[in-house]
Structure 1
Amino acid sequence: MFSIFDFSLRINGFPIRKAKSDLDKIVGLSADEKKQFIENQKQAIVDFHLENNSFYQKLVGSKNYKNWKDLPILNKSNLQIPLESRLSKGFSTKTCYINKTSGSSGEPFVFAKDKYSHALTWASNMYRFGWFGIDFNRSLQARFYGIPLDFMGYKKERFKDFLSKRFRFPVFDLSYTALEKVLKKFQTTKFEYLNGYTSSIVLFAKFLRKQNLILKDICPTLKVCMVTSEMLFEDDKILLETQFGIPIINEYGASELDLIAFQNPNEEWLINSETLFVEILDENNNAVPNGTEGKIVITSLFNKAHPFIRYEIGDIGILDKKSTLEKPILKQLIGRTNDIAILPSGKKSPGLTFYYVTKSIIEDDGNVKEFVIKQREIDQFEIEYVSETELDLVQIQKIEQAIALYLEPNLHFAFIRKNTLERTARGKLKQFTSFL
């Protein structure tokens, strides 16, 4: 059978055959060989950029370094300069894969990957999705993502979807009428899997629950659902499993890097140690013990066009205690470093704590479809929500009591009912934002 997806990569200059072959070799390494491979590759990528990338030379301050931990932490503000000044010798914007980050961290930037590195990203995706019987060349995807709304951008994305065997449901309109159309498409199309933003897929599951429908009954070809880009809470996972009737797989990735972690069939959130090296560090950039939270810092082991070495992605996470260098396991993704709420007592709390506590009460009866929390002042918060009926005084008091219990008392909330919630240009929903 003609492999349209592989062919579309090859015709655009991405050596997918070599990438797949090389990835297979890495996957086949023994534990000791894998450790050695990671150390060799770390050394090789740093040496390459110190030799060939003036941006990285300047950042390090020298072409010599003694220890890995002496290398600087690269953050997003370092990268907000023209791309041309960050490219390595021998690479140009015409010979690389160029894209930009979504900006969900509030610090968007343009990045580059050399063509081999980008082909490895796709090989890595194919390998992991293959754990669940998904073949990018044959399996049809129901895609819940944003889409550019300008004419050319829209057409280009739709064409890419055709080549990638995807049908896209844009997430900017998730009204009852729009979700009815989504349902009709599932009734007439042999989708094998769903992939997309967690919040949008959860909304579709709530719609199905209201209709008392199971998606697998409507579309029997479905095998699995992969959610990405936003937090997946345990109760949402249960909702998705119930309403879809298929396994729900948690994916964590970044466009500038690769798939970072992907749940395997044993329900371990396995970190990609074939193309990335992931560290969890404290505020002083020292590695924390497994089981301790810290900032996630990632090295792209193959990207020669642009350095992503000890790159602070902006997320906070915890490695599992049984994690090893050759088999790292992400126990928990806590949220973004810029999503920290600072409270009047001086306490700092991940903004998702508010979201989680509020969520446990606000969605009890299924009235509220989705919501976001915004911190306007140190003790002033807004909860914007979409619902069938307005929250009543009893519900509001319950939320305020729970937050006083889990966080601290004397915080003030304004509840604002809306028809739709604001999403990023890519269609992501930012669950907590601090404006302090």
Structure 2
Amino acid sequence: MRLFDFSLKINGFDIDEAKSILSKIQALENAEFNSYVDTKKKEIIAFHLQHNSFYESFGKTANFNDWSSVPIMTKRHLQQPLDQRLSDAYSSKNVYVNKTSGSSGDPFIFAKDKKCHALTWAVIMNRFSWFNIDFNVSKQARFYGIPLDKKGHFKERLKDWFSNRYRFSVFDLSDTAFENALEKFKTSRFEYINGYTSSIVQFAKYLKRNNIVLKNICSSLGVCIVTSEMLFDDDKSMLETQFGVPVINEYGASELDLIAFQNKNNEWQLNSETLYIEILDKNDNVLPYGEEGRVVITSLYNKAHPFIRYDIGDIGILSEKSTVRKPILKKLIGRTNDVAILPSGKKAAGLTFYYITKSVIEDNGNVSEFIIEQTALDHFIIKYVSRETLSSNKKERIVKAMKRYLEPGITISFDRVNRLNRLKSGKLKQFTSHIN
């Protein structure tokens, strides 16, 4: 029995219909595909202008024949009661309702109509099938957060059972927890790993310290798919070495869909079937391929709730090789709210100097993970977990590196902790500014 498909169907998500719709979209010729995208953009705006009072008020300037007239929507626009944002004939009882993780600093409750949510799953299943993963039969080792309250905990465990997956908690990243995880890998025929980047990296570091290649003890393992957090090149290389399988990068947003998925040509292929994705400058102008800007996304199928020209809060670049049918994400730089503002007025992407510091702080394996917080224009704190306190020489090297790439006159302090605080979802926020 195809339990995963069955679990979607009993919850009102017609996955068979969704797969059929997706197949028809993917079968379109290039010219037909371009026409399909234009038609869906006009249809979704026209629908919400007519049937959604929130969007009718928000999108007063919108003309579905002039895409540039459509206003940009942000998370802050959506931080009001859900029932005020739902379209006619939709209520919390006949839609899929969830809450964003809050990793952007602006959490909110959102909704999708059931057809839209079924299409989300159809796209996800399609992408995973590129690497021979079938959600109905392939066993998943899942590194995700889990609610701690009894009801939420039971619900997630039940979903795990229907989804043929075993969940490893990301809230305990101790060696003891990883020893137990390793035992589970020895006795289970896991076909793939899926979960938050930072926790999977920590598991790989444990394997490296113990000179273990996971594929050697779990021969059924075929691929590792990481999501929700940045994957750096050196971490990807380590994961592939310690797991003995390819590592695939996924980019998504719970309120939207799967946004991008690494294909077999090592390209980060964007979802063009159910989303329309643009890169805009600070004045909301569409940028040419190859230029850096804000990632703005339109959900082409969500009639319950508008996500039209929605600024997701990320900065990215589309490859020059992109087409309407096959857009390629060349680079995902970070979140717009993860920006450091320096005393001179200069701005720097937080993940840029996180990466600079990472190359120094992790070179001998002492530090297992760390985060950076900006507490003042000229002051940063590096909080880290390690076996031994950082030496004075190592701290001095880190300070010099940060001053060289940022600017002189800043100060850096170090705070060794037993564990880093994660978001409720289990994600690790690698850089936070407390002054923006």
Q: So what's the TM-score if we normalise by structure 1?
A: 0.99
Secondary structure of the 1:235 match is: helix
Counterpart of 1:152? 151
Counterpart residue number, 1:136: 135
Q: CA deviation at 1:243?
A: 0.3
User: Counterparts of 1:220 and 1:62 in 2: how far apart (Å)?
Assistant: 58
Is the CA contact 1:375–1:434 (under 8 Å) kept in the aligned structure 2? yes
Shift of 1:33: 1.2
Per the alignment, residue 306 of structure 2 pairs with 307
- Give, in whole Å, the separation in 1 of the partners of 2:222 and 2:99: 31
The alpha-carbon deviation at position 16 of structure 1 amounts to 0.6
Deviation, 1:295, is 0.5
Who is 1:231 aligned against?
230
Give the distance between the partners of 2:97 and 2:77, measured in 1 at CA: 18
| Alignment correspondent of 2:243 | 244
User: Using the alignment, how far apart are the partners of 1:152 and 1:429 within structure 2?
Assistant: 24
Q: Are the counterparts in 2 of residues 198 and 231 from structure 1 also a CA contact under 8 Å?
A: yes
Output the CA distance in 1 between the equivalents of 2:28 and 2:62.
31
Give the distance between the partners of 2:207 and 2:429, measured in 1 at CA. Answer: 24
Task: Give the Cα–Cα distance (whole angstroms) in 1 for the partners of residues 47 and 138 of structure 2.
Answer: 38
Query: Any gaps of 5 or more consecutive residues in structure 1?
Result: none
Q: Matched residues in 1 for 2:29 and 2:331: separation? A: 26
SS in 2 for 1:382: strand
Report the Cα distance in structure 2 between the residues aligned to 1:55 and 1:61, rounded to whole angstroms. Answer: 10
CA contact (8 A) 1:51 1:63 kept: no
Give the Å deviation of 1:254.
0.3
Large movers: runs of 4+ above 4 Å: 62-66
Instruction: Give identity over the alignment, percent.
Output: 62
Greater mean alpha carbon deviation, residues 33-42 or residues 63-72: 63-72
The one-letter code sitting in structure 1 at the alignment partner of 2:382 is I
1:187 corresponds in structure 2 to: 186
Mapped pair 1:431 → 2:430: yes
Q: Which residue of 2 aligns with 1:95?
A: 94
1:228-377 equivalent positions in 2, closer than 5 A: 228-377=227-376
Q: Look up the equivalent residue of 2:253 and give its one-letter code.
A: A
Deviation at 1:326, TM superposition (A): 1.3
Q: 8 Å contact 1:253–1:259 — kept in the other structure? A: yes
CA distance in 2 between partners of 1:64 and 1:379 (Å): 45
- Map of 1:169 onto structure 2: 168
Aligned to 1:209: 208
Tell me the SS of whatever aligns to 2:130.
Answer: helix
Q: Distance in 2 between matches of 1:163 and 1:350?
A: 40
1:367 is matched by which residue type in structure 2?
N
* Alpha-carbon spacing, 1:330–1:62, altered in 2? closer, same or farther (3 Å): closer
Q: Deviations over 1:244-294 (max 9, x none)?
A: 010000000000001000000110100000000000000000011111110
Q: What residue is the counterpart of 2:16 in the other structure?
A: 17
Match of 2:38 in 1: 39
Distance 2:11 2:272 in 1: 26
Return the letter of the residue paired with 1:395. Answer: K
Tell me if structure 1 keeps the 8 A contact 2:61–2:71.
Answer: no
Structure-2 residue corresponding to 1:112: 111
* 1:2-50 CA distance string (max 9 Å, x none): 1000011111111110000110111111111111111111111111111
Structure 2 counterpart of 1:197: 196
Partner of 1:58 in structure 2? 57
The one-letter code matched in structure 2 to 1:203 is Q
State the distance in 1 between where 2:374 and 2:396 align: 19
Secondary structure, in 3 states, of the residue corresponding to 1:43?
Answer: helix
The 1-side partners of 2:341 and 2:315 are apart by 16
Shift of 1:64: 4.5
Opposite residue 221 of structure 1, the aligned amino acid is: S
SS in 2 for 1:154: helix
Between stretches 425-434 and 317-326, larger displacement belongs to 317-326
Alignment of 1:400 with 2:387, yes or no, is no
Taking the aligned partners of 2:152 and 2:197, their CA distance within structure 1 comes to: 24
1:132 counterpart SS class? coil
| Per-residue CA distance 1:323-342 (angstroms, 9 max, x = gap) | 11111000010000000000
Secondary structure of the structure 1 residue equivalent to 2:353: helix
Q: Residues 42 and 64 of structure 2 are in contact (CA less than 8 Å); yes or no, is this contact kept in structure 1?
A: no
Q: Tell me how far 1:227 sits from its aligned partner.
A: 0.3
Q: Deviations over 1:128-167 (max 9, x none)?
A: 0000000000001100000000011100100001011110
Q: Secondary structure at the match of 1:173?
A: coil
Contact 2:63 2:69 in 1 (8 A): no
**Which letter does structure 2 place at the counterpart of 1:105?**
S
1:322 positional shift = 0.9
Q: CA deviation at 1:84?
A: 0.3
Equivalence for 1:122 = 121
Distance 1:426 1:216 in 2: 28
Hey, what's the Cα distance between the residues in 2 that align with 1:65 and 1:192?
45
Give the whole-Å Cα distance in 2 for the aligned partners of 1:410 and 1:212: 42
Distance 2:27 2:165 in 1: 30
Q: Which amino acid aligns with 1:153?
A: G
Name the CA distance, whole Å, in 2 between partners of 1:52 and 1:196.
Answer: 37
C-alpha distance in 1 between matches for 2:264 and 2:407? 40
Which structure 2 residue ranges, 5 or more long, are not aligned? none
Structure 1 CA distance, aligned partners of 2:427 and 2:58? Answer: 32
**Root-mean-square deviation (Å):** 0.8
Contact 2:62 2:71 in 1 (8 A): no
Query: Counterpart of 1:314 in 2: which secondary structure?
Result: strand
Please give the alpha-carbon distance, in whole angstroms, between the structure 1 residues aligned to 2:207 and 2:427: 21
CA distance in 2, matches of 1:23, 1:61: 32
C-alpha separation in 1, matches of 2:32 and 2:402: 49
How far residue 403 of structure 1 moved from its aligned partner, in angstroms, is 1.2
**Aligned equivalents of 1:409, 1:250: Cα separation in 2:** 35
| C-alpha distance in structure 2 between counterparts of 1:66 and 1:145, whole Å | 42
Superposition deviation, residue 401 in structure 1 = 1.1
